[in-house]
Amino acid sequence: MKYLETTYDPKNPSIIYVDSVQYELGSFDGKSILYDFPKIVKYLDAKGKLMFGKNFKIYEDDHDLLLKLTSYFVQDHDYCKKLGIDTAKGILLSGPVGCGKTTLMRLLPHLVPHKKAYNFIPCRNIVFGFNGVGFKLIQDYEDTKDYCFDDLGVEHVGRYYGKDCNVMGEILISRYEVFRRKGTKTHITTNLNAEELQEKYGERVRSRMREMFNLVSFSNLAKDKRG
């Protein structure tokens, strides 16, 4: 779906423009932004409708989770500390099928258009790529770009010239090394819980994920928003 570009006022980054419509996310004192959560929700609802269609909405049931995520994306270090979120780590967003994980992780970077957004890639596409080019693809993710890997856990085992590979497991190990050396962030969405992740990727990967990610979860009772 085509949607309008998000821009901001360089002199006042608390003001965001979508085409000619202005949204004020808080107040700017010349050095930092004091964000206003109700204004953020209003903006995200409007931007979401442009990106995903008129049926998109921000659900009140998700406000607590959204407060955590927005605090992280705007890098409110003090409030994130109160919430138990480490702003130096990535986000692992988990929850049931259809609860809105992918949508939010596509939407939230538009809160901070003055910052470089991460590359958003479905895990199944990565495995398809591996099946075509092999182990070079895993090495490609050893760079210092930020990524969001979508739908971790639904991808198949990769196979290249008859050799099987847990592609995403290997990539996560590589990303862990980059995180340790450079502080480069990786983000993930997944339907799997901690036990299921460990079963699929092993304790070696799971232990590294604990260091790399803040776990933010939808309720298991979160509604399917695709209906």
Full set of structural domains in the chain with CATH: 88-217 (3.40.50.300)
Flag whether pLDDT at 1 surpasses 60: no
Flag whether pLDDT at 47 surpasses 90: yes
Cα 40 to its chain centre, rounded Å, is 17
CA end-to-end distance (rounded Å), the chain: 19
SS3 226: coil
* Per-residue pLDDT at 4: 60
Per DSSP (E only), the strands in the chain are 6-9, 12-18, 21-24, 26-28, 33-35, 90-94, 119-122, 147-152, 158-160, 163-165, 186-190, 213-217
Strands 213-217 and 90-94: parallel
Flag whether pLDDT at 103 surpasses 50: yes
- Enter the pTM of the model: 0.93
- With a pLDDT cut of 90, the percent of the chain lying above it is 82
The DSSP-derived string for 7-52 is EEETTEEEEEEETTEEEE-EEE-SS-EEE-HHHHHHHHHHHHHHHH
In single-letter form, the type of residue at position 98 comes to G
